[in-house]
Amino acid sequence: MTAAARMGPRYPVLDALRAVAILLVLARHWAVASQAAFGVVPGGPLAVLAANGWIGVDLFFVLSGFLIGSHFTGPRAAPFSRTAMLDFYRRRAFRTLPLYWGVILLCWLDAPFSSLAFVTHLLFLQDYLGSDVMVTLWSLAVEEKFYLATPALLFLLTRAGTRNACMLLALAMAALCWSMQADARGITPGDYVAFFWAVRAPFHHSVLGILTGVLVAVQHGASGTWRAPRSLFLLLAAPPLLLLMWRDWLGLGDWPTVCWIIALSSCLFALLVRCGLAVNCWRPAFGTVRPLRHIARLSYALYLVHYPLIGPATQVCRFLSGGAQQPPVPDSLLFLAIYGAMSWAAAWLLHVALERPFLLLRDRIAAA
């Protein structure tokens, strides 16, 4: 069986959701920077949605969990073997490491950091030890740790049977929710930094979203022929959208509530992914939107480079406004345009210079 066949059919809806995830993350950091620089985040409910864009990382986790789980589960998956494991690690290494190391090198060239910080990021320990290079790199540490645990976990799940595997994953997710709640209750309300490094970032809590995606992969692998109408997908997209437009959850400073929002959002995203797969089973083109597809292709590079560009984008915005006192809303929207354009250009350059060549090399090696 070829590598392409093992990966199974391509689901355009996953690319669309991946694009939504990175847009949410970018919106969150624009909202925070706009509030700090101009004192306003225009948009009403859309401003609340932007403030809650941090939940886009959990959508990324769900999508990653599904794609990782699909490598070993379902009728198209490769038999669990040493060859399958090596293929999995080779694909993940070519996909994540060159671009990650390239961005770390660029950060070091811009502002050299300590040997401890270098080792921390080299070993993907920033979710526990913190990051003085780029705070957004915490999620990559979570995913890389999960890659190490993937073969043992999937070996257990594939031999447990679909029903038992789903039950084991559900129990693990419930235990993680309990652990998050227990730790969140001990953190001072409003102390976001303490909450972030104690509850949000560490692997043993953040893996909740990835396990939710693995659960989708196990269930989809057992019933991949289930079909659903587009209307059901749109109906299931409404609850997470309304949840994220309701109120600024981090702004509440109520950390147990935020933990429930993370868990609930992960489950809602999982339902959306599962339904999207079912729609693609009989409408293969569903989710094929060219702009979203392009955004999804650059999503990893965008995630890595967008955060350091907040400062330069703010400076360019102030320069274009002439330093004069302007109404805050136009300045904020100008900042959004500059920030988005700079992020897109930098991501495209990294994709062309680093990401795409290594992905092509990976495919050539797999074909050989």
d(CA 20, CA 52): 13
CA distance 132 to 113: 8
Query: Measured over all CA atoms, what is the biggest interatomic distance in the chain, rounded to whole angstroms?
Result: 67
pLDDT per residue as tens, the chain (368 positions): 334 434 446 799 999 999 999 999 999 999 999 999 988 888 889 999 999 999 999 999 999 999 998 887 766 666 777 888 888 899 999 999 999 999 999 888 888 888 888 899 989 999 999 988 899 999 999 999 999 988 888 888 878 888 898 999 999 999 999 999 999 999 999 999 999 999 999 999 999 999 999 999 998 887 767 888 999 999 999 999 999 999 999 999 999 999 999 999 999 999 999 999 999 988 999 999 999 999 999 999 999 999 999 999 999 998 888 765 667 888 899 999 999 999 999 999 999 999 999 999 999 988 87
Structure tokens at 248: 């600024």
Give kind and range of the element (H or E) at residue 236.
helix 230-246
Q: How close are the terminal C-alpha atoms of the chain, in Å?
A: 13
Alpha-carbon span 201 to 207, nearest angstrom:
10
Q: What is the residue type of 33?
A: A
Identity of residue 367: A
What is residue 150's predicted lDDT score, i.e. its pLDDT? 86
CA 51, CA 251: separation in Å to the nearest integer? 9
One-letter amino acid identity for 186? Answer: G
| Residue 88: closest CA among 69, 71, 74, 65 | 71
- What are the extents of the domains in the chain? 3-367
pTM for this predicted structure: 0.94
Q: What is the pLDDT of residue 2?
A: 39
Residue 351: phi and psi, rounded to 5, are -65, -45
- Phi, psi at residue 241, to the nearest 5°? -65, -45
Counting beta carbons within 10 angstroms of the beta carbon of residue 109, is it exposed (0 to 12), middle (13 to 18) or buried (19 or more)?
exposed
- pLDDT score at 3: 40
Rg of the chain (C-alpha set)? 21
